């Protein structure tokens, strides 16, 4: 999961315990972690950290005019030498 998508629900729709800041309650089912309840401040902090991490690791450098020109100059095939005699002469064969 690359981003936490949250959904708001009224607390009257479920029996959710209150949790103090800095603490979390991990609900398990058959020994497996199912849900974690945490304080809203902690959740916001984690979400912000997640967003910051995504921001600092994302972003793509754009090709400048100069780099595009570099590709045109160095990355585009010219006219290959395909004459056998010329190849032999060039390579000293």
Of the candidates 1, 6, 7, the residue with the CA atom closest to the CA atom of residue 53: 1
CB atoms within 10 A of CB 37: 14
How far apart (Å, rounded) are the C-alpha atoms in residues 9 and 21? 20
Give the nearer residue to another protein in terms of CB position, either 16 or 71: 71
How far apart (Å, rounded) are the C-alpha atoms in residues 90 and 11? 81
Tokens of 10: 């009224």
Task: Using CB under 8 A, list all residues that contact another protein.
Answer: 2, 53-54, 56-61, 63-64, 66-67, 69-71, 73-78, 80
Give the nearer residue to another protein in terms of CB position, either 32 or 74: 74
Give the nearer residue to another protein in terms of CB position, either 10 or 74: 74
């Amino acid at each position: 999961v690359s981003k936490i998508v949250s959904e708001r629900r009224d607390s009257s729709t479920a029996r959710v315990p209150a949790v103090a800041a800095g603490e979390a309650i991990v609900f398990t089912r058959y020994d497996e972690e199912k849900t974690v309840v945490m304080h809203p401040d902690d959740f916001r902090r984690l979400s912000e950290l997640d967003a910051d991490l995504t921001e600092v690791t994302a972003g793509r450098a754009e090709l400048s005019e100069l780099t595009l020109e570099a590709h045109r100059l160095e990355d585009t095939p010219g006219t290959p030498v395909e004459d056998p005699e010329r190849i032999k002469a060039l390579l000293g064969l």
